[in-house]
Homo-oligomer: A and B are copies of this chain.
Amino acid sequence: MTYCVGMVVDRGLVLMSDTRTNSGVDNISVFRKMFHWSVPGERIVTLMTAGNLATTQAVISVLEERTKAPRDRNHSLLEVPTMFQAAVETGKVLREIVRETQFENGEEGRGRFTASIILAGQIKGMEPRLFLIYPEGNFIEASWDTPFFQIGETKYGRPILIRGYDRQLSFEDAVKLLMVSFDSTLKANLSVGLPLDVMVIERDSFAPTHERRIETNDPYFESVSSGWSEALRSAFHSLPDYSFYQGDERPA
């Protein structure tokens, strides 16, 4: 499994991904799921992937090759004119690889080898943008109504994102919020695991403003994880108490 979140805030983009891949519970490995390409001062394009690892690695390889091979230059993420076109190109590559692998595996391949991608970035003169790309190659874009996307194991970490998100979050608070969301997910699903990759991209900087790998035993992540249990307990006690008797009711 996987857990990745991409988020737009007023100040820019914040991304976090785990690094665990598994085939069953007895075969786990660490693989990077966050990738980026940039032209300093002009653009940065970041991808996070969830789903079949062979598929996502193939997608990344094709996109990477295009940035180098002159022939496909105009489809390269370093050359497309808009983030929308970057999503179109990425979607096409993803769909083709999924379809091809399914086709080659005949009846057995149906519905397998799929993957999803979060694409985020900014090109000079335009706004930072965030997309969620489906295995079918089509995609949706984040808006202020839905300013973040999750892929992989999305449910455990969603309630805190819904409650805690605010477009005016500082980058530091946005990273903290994502860490709480990841911690809830890690606690509930073994197939999501440390280390985590974090990237912060400030609006109009066209480069990672902050990039870090959060390793196992990272002291800050541990302080969030243990502090959150305590903080939730206080939050819980701050809520009004439930009573068996309400309004006019009285104990018998």
Contacts and interface: CB of A to CB of B under 8 A. Distances in A.
A132 to B, nearest CB: 17
Q: How many copies does the complex hold?
A: 2
A175 interface: yes
A41 interface: no
A209 B157 CA distance: 34
A144 interface: no
B179 A159 contact: no
A234 interface: yes
A202 to B, nearest CB: 11
A108 interface: no
Chain A interface mostly: helix
Interface in A210-252: 210, 220, 223-224, 227-229, 231-236, 238-244, 246
A112 interface: no
B240 A227 contact: yes
Interface residues of A, number: 43
A238 B227 contact: yes
A227 B188 CA distance: 25
Interface in A148-201: 155-160, 162-164, 171-173, 175-177, 179-180, 184, 187-188, 200
A233 B188 contact: no
A162 B187 contact: yes
Interface of A: 155-160, 162-164, 171-173, 175-177, 179-180, 184, 187-188, 200, 209-210, 220, 223-224, 227-229, 231-236, 238-244, 246
